[in-house]
Amino acid sequence: MISTRTSQPDVIAALEDAGLRITGQRRQVVAAIERRDGGFSAEDIAGELEGVGRATVYRTLKLLVKADVLCKLALPDGTPMYSPSRLEHHHHSVCTSCGAVEEFRDTTVERFLRSLTREIEGEIVGHRMEVFIRCLSCLGSSSS
C-alpha cells in the first residue's frame, strides 16, 4: 500500500539530478546507510567507512537529508540521530532504549497543521514531530 523508495540507483540518480557529482565516497555513504535500518549517528558511518573522510561523511549526510532520502531526528535530549527515509512525508517513533525507528504517516497531524494556519500569525514553513516509545522488545527485556 505504502510505496517504498530509495533503492540505491534511485538515490544516486536523485543526486545526479540535483547537479551533483557521483563520487566513490558518495556511493559508499549511500551504500552504508542503505545497509542500516534503525537509527545511527554520523560517527557510526564515519567509523564504518575508513576510506572516507569525516568531513565528507557529514557533507554527504547533509545532502541526503536535503534530498529526502535520509531523516535527521533527535532523541529527547537533542542528540541527533539519522534514519533512512522510506515513506513520502512521515513522522517517527523512536525507542529511547534501543534506538529502533519506525516511520508512520498520519493525516491527523497534517489536518492539525492546516487548522493551525488560521490560528497562527505568520506563515508555516515546516514542522517536526517525534513520538518517543519503549518498543516491545525493550519492554520485555527490562525487569521493572
Partner DNA sequence: CTGATAGTTGATACTTACTATCAATAACTT
Partner DNA sequence: AAGTTATTGATAGTAAGTATCAACTATCAG
Could you list the residues that contact DNA (CB under 7 A)?
A: 16, 20-26, 41-43, 51-56, 58-60, 62, 72, 77-80
Q: How far is the CB of 35 from a copy of itself (least distance, A)?
A: 24
85, interface contact from DNA, a copy of itself, Zn ion, none, CB < 5-8 Å by kind = Zn ion
Q: How far is the CB of 123 from a copy of itself (least distance, A)?
A: 5
Angle at 14 between CA 34 and CA 110, to 5 degrees: 80
One-character DSSP codes across 95-112:
ETTT--EEEE--HHHHHH
Q: Give start and end residues of each alpha helix (H) in 49-93.
A: 54-66
103 three-class SS: strand
List interacting residues with a copy of itself (CB under 8 A). Answer: 72, 74, 76, 78, 80, 93, 95-96, 102, 104, 106, 108-109, 111-113, 115-116, 119-136, 138-139
Q: How far is the CB of 79 from Zn ion (least distance, A)?
A: 16
Please say whether the beta carbons of 47 and 40 come within 8 A.
Answer: no
26, interface contact from Zn ion, DNA, a copy of itself, none, CB < 5-8 Å by kind = DNA
Please say whether the beta carbons of 93 and 102 come within 8 A.
Answer: yes
